[in-house]
Structure 1
Amino acid sequence: MSAVDNCVFCKIVKGELPAVKLFEDADALAFMDVFPASVGHALVICRDHHANLLDMPDDGLAATAVVARRIAQAIMTALRPDGFQIRQFNGAAAGQTVFHYHVHIVPVHQGVGAPAHGRERSDPHVLEELAARIRAALA
């Protein structure tokens, strides 16, 4: 079995695994992180399988960055955090746990830290409620 066959994000792209989606187009997909580092933590992935930043073609990288910016703006509008972090990990030593290029958008509130990765699975109903607010801000 290939890396693509075992990739959780490829399975989400193919509809084989569920995700609370925020946005999708021909190049990228944005959805809520099920192990959020903070409330509203979202992921933006490229549809094609590329293990990390160094494997990404320029056009896919640009398309993913544009979607990440749109999602970050919608999170800021919908959830009103004090700021946000864009995180992107490359290699296990750097904290990458899913080896499919993706960007984390992590809302940050003044005085509240956010770990690199969340430890607890979020309630699916909470994720859907947050996603509905973010999707409304995208409209």
Structure 2
Amino acid sequence: MANTAETCIFCEIVKGERPAHIVLDVPDAVAFLDARPLFKGHTLLVPRTHHETLTDVPPDLLGPFFSHAQRLAAAMEPALGAAGTFVAMNNRISQSVPHLHVHVVPRNRKDGLRGFFWPRHKYDSDAEAADHAARLANALD
């Protein structure tokens, strides 16, 4: 079955039909914590409307969408004590959910992220994930 807005798990999150730790909820985009984070605070930014890849997004939406990615990257440092961020997206290859999403990941020196062999760091609890989401959301205000 092809992925459509009706079958997309990110669309379900956007519509509030699937639980997620929401970091940003604005008219054109939603950001939430990655369920399998590279580091705690790893956030996925998605357009509210279903677009599979970067090339599918109408050009007039790109600037506003990436301004949200910029804001998220800026919030990581003060909210989480990160030294910087890693911002990336995949198009089709290695895109686990075929709905455009930008990864915004907090980084620190010697954090173990090397090349494309990335460690995953789970939250100790749902409460810890909620705390990271709230800290990031507060930093965006």
Q: Common fold, TM-score beyond 0.5?
A: yes
Pairs aligned (count): 137
- Structure 2: gaps (5+ residues): none
Query: In the TM superposition, what are the counterparts of 1:94-113 in structure 2 within 5 Å?
Result: 95-113=94-112
Matched residue, 1:5? 6
**Maintained 8 Å contact 1:4/1:49:** yes
Match of 1:89 in 2: 90
Identical aligned pairs, as a percentage? 37
Match of 1:131? 133
SS at match of 2:19: coil
How far apart are residue 116 of structure 1 and its match?
6.6
Over 3 Å counting, the alpha-carbon distance change for 1:16 and 1:121 in structure 2 is farther
Match of 2:37 in 1: 36
Say if 1:137 and 1:65 are closer, same or farther in 2 by CA, change over 3 A.
same
2:74 and 2:65 mapped to 1: Cα distance? 14
> After the TM superposition, which residues 13-92 of structure 1 pair with which residues of structure 2 at under 5 Å, given as runs?
13-92=14-93
Structure 1 position 120, deviation (Å): 6.4
Q: CA deviation at 1:101?
A: 0.6
Structure 1 gap segments, 5+ residues each: none
Report which of the two has the higher share of helix. 1
Q: Aligned Cα RMSD in Å?
A: 1.9
Q: Which amino acid aligns with 2:23?
A: L
